[in-house]
Amino acid sequence: MNYVSTAGRAPATTFRKAVFLGLAPDGGLYIPERLPRFPAALMRDLSTTSLHAIGRELAAAFIDDIPRKDFAALFRRAWTFPIPLTHLHGNIHLLELFHGPTLAFKDIGVRFLARVLSHYLHTSHEDVTIAVATSGDTGSAVAHGFFNVQHITVYVLYPSGKISSLQEQQMATLGGNIHALEVEGTFDDCQRLVKQALADKEVAEARHLTTANSISLGRLLPQIGYYVWGMAQWQNFPRLGAADALPAFVVPSGNFGNLTAGVYAKAMGLPAGKLVAATNVNDAGAQYIRTGSFIPRAALQTHSNAMDIGNPSNLARIRSHYHDDIAAIQAEIGAVTIGDEETLDEIRATYSLTGKILDPHTAVGVAAARKRIGDEPAIVMATAHPGKFSDVIERALGIRMPLPPQLQEALERPKQSTRISAQYDAFREVLLSHPTRAMG
């Protein structure tokens, strides 16, 4: 399987090269040259399969340069937590993607990417350095996903004073091969520093520098797996009413990576209902799906801040998949915008109906599911644990959620980050003065 660029001006390349490069040299995003079909046996035996078996089939379909026998160990290390389908209320269900170490769905893709990179580096006896800019959740998923992974050193750059102390503690207390850099600037400064370093030949060579941001194929492709796993569990799920109605997948969306994985899953032959993009007021992507016109804009801050994205990068993959045919997109994907007040209302409504507490991102999804469905069942992607957003929960419900134990532990560990200025020279100096030898 080869990978090509959405911008169409880069040579086709292998999976290995695509994940080490991140962005294609023409500035586009890597996409599979053609999508494989799921093996017929997997679809036929869906009700008796397992999450890891799905992962192994998926990995084998997309990656030809890792022996099939190695995938079992890879998934055992990457996917160490369950992804259960649960009933919420009425015909709304949740696929709970947030049981990983940082309690958000990004763990699922990041932990797969970490193991794939480590596998390649182990066979070629190389080390790499990963630099990643974060405004919160990505950094903690990357820090935890790559913690103690052999051959890899990580720099996480975050804007000083602009993320919650909980987010900071989650990425700045691990130590070992994870270096947290507190940048005296904004998230945009952090992103600029990473881009400058990647473009700096001397640094890139001395450190074997790469990144692990949300456009990485190595984070996107494994996400297809949980759509399949959602439908596998659906087959065995006790349900009311129309037993053969296929559920819609409702996806709380920011950069549209999660939704892109759903588009790919269906195109590969997964029987499922419509896909629905649920966004907060940062809805340039949702507007595009509704109208066919794409107007990126600066992001506004909302209660579901991991989705505060004004220019969703994975839209390029979706548009490329449908050859920019907006009617074809609308035939398969719906889009709903949910404001902050509606988000709080949904947290309250769900709590009073079921006693369950939704995180604000999942609440956007549930509100969107309610807004659009008639009788068709829905599976909402539950993207984060509510304990990560206790201030929003307190605002909605007037109760203070206890912190989940993983987060409590992070708060108690000493912070180990290095403060640097937003000038590129400061970051360059850190990269060139640290020893190049990675863990392991």
* Positions marked active-site: 106
For the chain, first and last CA: distance in Å?
30
Element (H, E) at 89: strand 85-89
- Residue 145 lies near ligand PLP (rule: CB under 6 A): no
- Residue 383 lies near ligand PLP (rule: CB under 6 A): yes
Rounded Cα–Cα distance for residues 54 and 1 (Å): 18
- 288 in Cβ contact with 259 (< 8 Å): no
User: Among residues 170 and 214, whose Cβ is nearest to ligand PLP?
Assistant: 214
Q: Residues 361, 369, 422, 427: which binds ligand PLP (CB under 6 A)?
A: 361
Q: Residues 91, 134, 255, 337: which binds ligand PLP (CB under 6 A)?
A: 255
Nearest to 212 by CA among 265, 119, 145: 145
Q: Residues 112, 256, 264, 427: which binds ligand PLP (CB under 6 A)?
A: 256
Tell me, rounded to whole angstroms, the distance of Cα 418 from its chain centroid: 26
Rounded Cα–Cα distance for residues 29 and 216 (Å): 8
Element (H, E) at 370: helix 360-372
Q: Residues 104, 228, 379, 396: which binds ligand PLP (CB under 6 A)?
A: 104
Q: Residues 254, 262, 334, 387: which binds ligand PLP (CB under 6 A)?
A: 254
C-alpha dihedral, 369 to 371 to 372 to 376, nearest 10° = 60
Stretch in the footprint of ligand PLP (CB under 6 A) among 42-50, 52-60, 246-254, 287-295? 246-254
User: Among residues 123 and 301, whose Cβ is nearest to ligand PLP?
Assistant: 301
Rounded Cα–Cα distance for residues 390 and 370 (Å): 24
Q: Residues 102, 177, 258, 390: which binds ligand PLP (CB under 6 A)?
A: 258
Minimum distance from residue 381 beta carbon to ligand PLP (Å): 8
User: Which amino acid is it at 108?
Assistant: I
Token pair listed for 39: 């093996």
Q: Residues 137, 182, 189, 342: which binds ligand PLP (CB under 6 A)?
A: 137
User: Among residues 42 and 221, whose Cβ is nearest to ligand PLP?
Assistant: 221
- Residue 253 lies near ligand PLP (rule: CB under 6 A): yes
Minimum distance from residue 392 beta carbon to ligand PLP (Å): 12
- Residue 384 lies near ligand PLP (rule: CB under 6 A): yes
Minimum distance from residue 361 beta carbon to ligand PLP (Å): 4
- Residue 135 lies near ligand PLP (rule: CB under 6 A): no
- Strand pairing class (85-89; 92-96): antiparallel
User: Among residues 46 and 366, whose Cβ is nearest to ligand PLP?
Assistant: 366
CA angle 87/91/97 to nearest 5° reads 40
Rounded Cα–Cα distance for residues 316 and 335 (Å): 16
User: What three-state secondary structure class fits 212?
Assistant: coil
Stretch in the footprint of ligand PLP (CB under 6 A) among 18-26, 45-53, 253-261, 326-334? 253-261
Q: Residues 16, 56, 106, 192: which binds ligand PLP (CB under 6 A)?
A: 106
- 129 in Cβ contact with 208 (< 8 Å): yes
- Sites of contact with ligand PLP (CB under 6 A): 104, 106, 137, 214, 252-258, 306-307, 361, 383-384
